[in-house]
Amino acid sequence: MVNDKLNENPGMPAATACRLIGEYVGIDKNTVQNWVKQNHVDTGETPGVTTDEKQRVLELDKENHELRRANEILRKASAPFVQAELDRR
């Protein structure tokens, strides 16, 4: 909608278009501006981290957290066996 507004009014600043569209749909203009910026990144118009890349990083962070937790559980569970082996020597 912002792009349509800018195409209809070539001299209009993007901030104005975001404000107008935000008022029209009942969303804060800053939210609309953030969406427009992210859309430009996602479409390759501007450099940055795409939505897909952000999602992948979040998934990897979650997986990393789960693996660290599992590793800690295994480390604690194996401690008595390690101690028993050391005592046996």
Give pLDDT tens digits for 40-85.
999 999 999 999 999 999 999 999 999 999 999 999 999 888 888 7
DSSP run (H or E) holding 57: helix 51-88
| pTM of the model as a whole | 0.67
Phi/psi of residue 46, each to 5°? -135, 150
Give pLDDT tens digits for 19-45.
999 999 999 999 999 999 999 999 999
- Which of 3, 25, 27 shows the shortest CA–CA distance to 14? 3
